[in-house]
Amino acid sequence: MEKMNKVLIIFLVLLGFGIQTLSAGNKSRTGTAGAQELLIPVGAAGIALGNANIATASGVDAIYWNPAGIARSDRGSEVMISHMQYFGDIALNYGAVSIDAGSFGRLAFSMKSLSFGDIPVTTESFPDGTGDSYSPTYVTLGVSYGKQLSDRISVGTTINVVSENIMSTSASGFVLNAGVQYHGLIIPELKLGIAVKNVGPSMKYDGSNLMRTAAVSGATRAAQLYKVDAAEFDLPSTIEMGLAYERKLDDMNAFSVMTNFQNNNYQADEYKFGAEYAYNNLIFVRGGYLSSPNADVNEYLYDYTFGFGVHYDLGSIDVNVDYAFRHLKYMDSNNVITVKLGF
């Protein structure tokens, strides 16, 4: 028990440092953070719940939502693949695997990539295109660790390496996520989740595409090359706190409701709500709503979500297939499908 309390204290201190870092942010910094791909959610079940499942996410599906949930799995290993049709012909592909490391806890590895398709190359001299094209490469690789300290408390952390490459210019960095889940808060059905995400040093672009040619009018010397010094940009750090209430009505029916508050260092705060009905742990129907009341008009894109899932236990293999729809107000809405296997 003493060792468990020490580990919990360490995680709470880390969360405290994250909270202190984020408190310096405010709405006046809207649009100043980069690496926005870190904010794109993964996992159809959580998206259908309005991104409000920070207290309930479990297993390999919890890597994005709250790494503390990684430890809450009854399978030795899990594999997850997910595809999201984002907006503007952008697609997101995600894959992850988690393994049981015995008394040490659970380890997980993940990869998120964005596909932009081919983009025409334009220049000052050829604004309509040079005839060439390029495709940016945005990849996030993660290593996660989760441990269940007791039947109620679990903690977890993720280190993500972020790489952005546009033609011959790139930026890279690393970010830290840390979280805790407490199940059985006051009453057995009440759950609490807290997570600090995307905390890390600033990133900066560099590469040969930043080279420019300078010619001095009337000078006798040849044109010289100079390099544009790109500005650093902050990461989109957040802290999230959520509650969930799960209740079994009988042996066949169960429901849960959940809410999540997200404080941002780059835009107005967000409020998220979700609900799920489960029949015989086989069929799941989900819905959610996202809101940012303090955002400027037309600044916040998202509102309602819904989806469904099917779970089937084949004995040696546990199969989950989930679908989610996330409505966007001014662009094409998101469609997400996720397959998760447990062994």
**How distant is the alpha carbon of residue 109 from its chain centre?**
14
pLDDT in tens, 107-165: 999 999 999 888 888 887 888 888 888 889 999 999 999 999 999 999 999 999 999 99
Q: Tell me how far apart the alpha carbons of residues 230 and 246 are, in angstroms, rounded to a whole number.
A: 49
Start-to-end CA distance of the chain, whole Å, equals 31
Q: Tell me how far apart the alpha carbons of residues 269 and 300 are, in angstroms, rounded to a whole number.
A: 10
Task: Give ∠ CA 131-226-31 in degrees, rounded to 5.
Answer: 70
Coil, helix or strand for 219? coil
pLDDT in tens, 163-175: 999 988 999 999 9
Work out whether the CA dihedral 51, 242, 265, 82 comes out positive or negative.
negative
Residue scoring higher pLDDT (255 or 298): 255
Burial of 38 by CB count in 10 Å (0-12 exposed, 13-18 middle, 19+ buried)?
Answer: buried
Q: How confident is residue 295, by pLDDT bands cut at 50, 70 and 90?
A: confident
292 close to 268: Cβ distance less than 8 angstroms: yes
249 closest CA partner among 274, 273, 272, 276: 276
Residue 215 vs residues 38, 208, 218, 219, 226: alpha-carbon distances, Å? 40, 18, 9, 8, 10
Q: What is the mean pLDDT of the chain?
A: 88
Token reading at 323: 């679908």
Over the range 217-231, which residues count as b (16 or more CB within 10 Å of their CB) and which as e?
Answer: eeeeeeeeeeeeeee
Over the range 48-73, which residues count as b (16 or more CB within 10 Å of their CB) and which as e?
Answer: bbbbbbbbbbbbbbbbbbbbbbbbbb
φ/ψ of 28, rounded to 5, equals -65, -10
Q: How confident is residue 25, by pLDDT bands cut at 50, 70 and 90?
A: very low
142 close to 174: Cβ distance less than 8 angstroms: no
pTM of the predicted model over 0.85: yes
Average pLDDT estimate for 231-241: 92
Q: Which CATH class is domain 2-201+233-342?
A: mainly beta
Query: Is the pLDDT reported for residue 53 higher than 70?
Result: yes
323 close to 336: Cβ distance less than 8 angstroms: yes
Burial of 263 by CB count in 10 Å (0-12 exposed, 13-18 middle, 19+ buried)?
Answer: middle
Neighbours of 286 (CB within 10 A): 26
Coil, helix or strand for 336? strand
